[in-house]
Structure 1
Amino acid sequence: MPDYYISQISHTDKTVIQGVTALLNAEGIRLDANLDYTCGMYDDEMNIIATGSCFGNTLRCLAVSSEHQGEGLMNQIISHLIEVQFERGNTHLFLYTKCSSAKFFGDLGFYEIARIDEQIVFMENRRTGFKNYLKKLEESSALQLQTLTKDTSANTATLQSDNALPDTSTADRKIAALVMNANPFTLGHQYLVEKAARENDLLHLFIVSEDASLVPFKVRKQLVMEGTAHLDNICYHDSGPYIISNATFPSYFQKDENAVIESHAMLDLTVFTEIAQTLGINRRYVGEEPTSLVTGIYNNIMSEKLPENGIECIIVPRKTDGKKAISASTVRQAIKDNDVDTLKKLVPESTLRYFESKEAKEVIERIRNSGNVIHY
């Protein structure tokens, strides 16, 4: 076998990146916008004949030149990327691949989590990773339910209120779910959570735990829990790596932005359906966002596909400040502009207290130094 070698590629090296892009394009793959490490395999004439990349704990943009397929080069690329990830401390790894390549990556130690027919397979390097995640959700919910039951058992009258937890043996309970990033937690988020909690016996609230936002996960979770502490029928969950955010979903298999959004929605719903079955969730709430192309497509797919799996999809009109819908983007802009008056109108007291505290200094600086805080 010829003596090929693998080397890291700098994303600022435009000439080499052009070579990577050409190789990917030849294999029907686009260069993903979210990459933090890229490597290339070179032949003895310094041509790139294979490539692979990482983003967070995912492997991406994997390709071998058609002239060299069958030589075992992808095995070497994967081994190299796994070594890089382990050096970073990432041992639980994920990848997205075409359905036609799933068996190949299965032979390399990756296991299927979910797939969209004839499009994308979502895989991980742990045989029981997703199963263990579902079990952890179930155990966490049981503990929180015990706490909720104790809190309400002292007053039987409370059990008749809208927000009370009913008898856990009741088969026809309304059990809802909400997934939110809360970057940061606003009055709009609070309104959505309050509505879902009021209209259901139990609400599972998933907070996106990927740190791809201007406000770190630890802070976002704190603000969500403080802003909903007055509600007594919520089970809180970190989303973990299985509820996929827009920020980290790969775009390199799809032909255009709409296809990316549709694939993301379909894959997310496939995973969510498994979660819903585990927790007995029969309703999912989402906020309406008329100005967002992403949310519009996502909500349309959700409202069509969730009922097919016995889950009601409830799209809630956005809370307004009297003029326009409250959004986290507007809140971030107010923070960036040091517009305290606007901020006070858009966030709960708990969020306002945080951003007025010394603790928030670093987050505020991050927002103010960001070029664009408005996301659509």
Structure 2
Amino acid sequence: MKHDSRPSPLAPGRQLAASSVSFAMMNEHNIASYDYDLPRERIAQEPVAVRSDARLMVLDRYSGTIQHRYIRDLPELLHADDTLILNNSRVVPARLLGYRTRTRGRWQGLYLRSDANTGVWEVLSKTRGRLEIGETITLQDRNTRDGVLLEVMARTDNGNLLVKPQADAAAGELLRQFGWIPLPPYIRDGRMVDADVQSYQTVYAAHDGSVAAPTAGLHFTKPLLKQLTEKGLHLAEVTLHVGIGTFRPIAVEDLNQHVMHTEWGSIDAAAAQTLNDTVSRGGRRIAVGTTSVRTVESAAQDDGTLQAWTGMCDLFIQPGYRFKAIDGLLTNFHLPRSSLLVLVSAFAGRERIMQAYDEAIQNEYRFFSYGDAMLII
């Protein structure tokens, strides 16, 4: 059953509460500056019953003023000349279950990518003991029936497996037959239920490739998008296939030493033109999610103009970065010590963001993938 608790919004226009931590004393390029304590009950386990009923913290990044609103208020909060930047990547059912054919020991995997020419998949692998080259894994479907074999071909430098399915079928077809939606581990230990097939997918998802949802987009419904376009807002769709790196905390102290994970992204000519036209008419470019930010910022020229672009995105945005292609950001509340929290802090200021998170916890906002959102303008 989906969560339907909707506390009344606080009066608009309140100033940020003073945080219990002296953030100003911290180094914005040290990962410890992006740590915070979150009560476990604030981690959303289910989406709200109606996507647009999620709560929305509106943060003015210049004045620090906040409002407590709802996603459904976006038509009131945004301007007719604004453009929303949407990541239309679709989450693939990348979580795999099966067993080692020879020993029958249980095996779990996460599909990461495949080579269309060779048919070889790269997967994260979890099992007891070491898998040998040439060994096979028997995949099982949702009814635990035996299915296709995966032959272990090699290991990558970072320890992932390269496997080849023993079947004449495309990766997408096999994943639909044998895969599960790969929920983050903080959602009831990555449960596997059919309801998440729909709820962990944006309504505008179009291109298979992500192993995690671009979660800010989960708040939109088709009626809400219709309301926004009828008001005069424009939509620009980009694609960034979200990789497994989005789940991982930053492992180094000094942010300047962090190596960002790489993801495939693309912007077509129509989306680029829509965003260029937005600037020309004085509108704002509002990125829906950090993946949309990284896509347009990777593609933008120094003056902020865009053209069609396809490439690998490894852009790590931290304080000091000069944003070229966005004027606002709609985003969820992110994990401590994550590159996503660092990006949001680069956009609005670390001290302001950490104080806003403190305010969100005090006001019982719901955090992470199925949680509430903030609009930073």
Return the structure number with greater relative CO, CA threshold 8 A, min gap 6. 2
Q: Which structure would you say has the larger Rg?
A: 1
More helix by share: 1
TM-score (structure 1 length as normaliser): 0.29
TM-score (structure 2 length as normaliser): 0.29
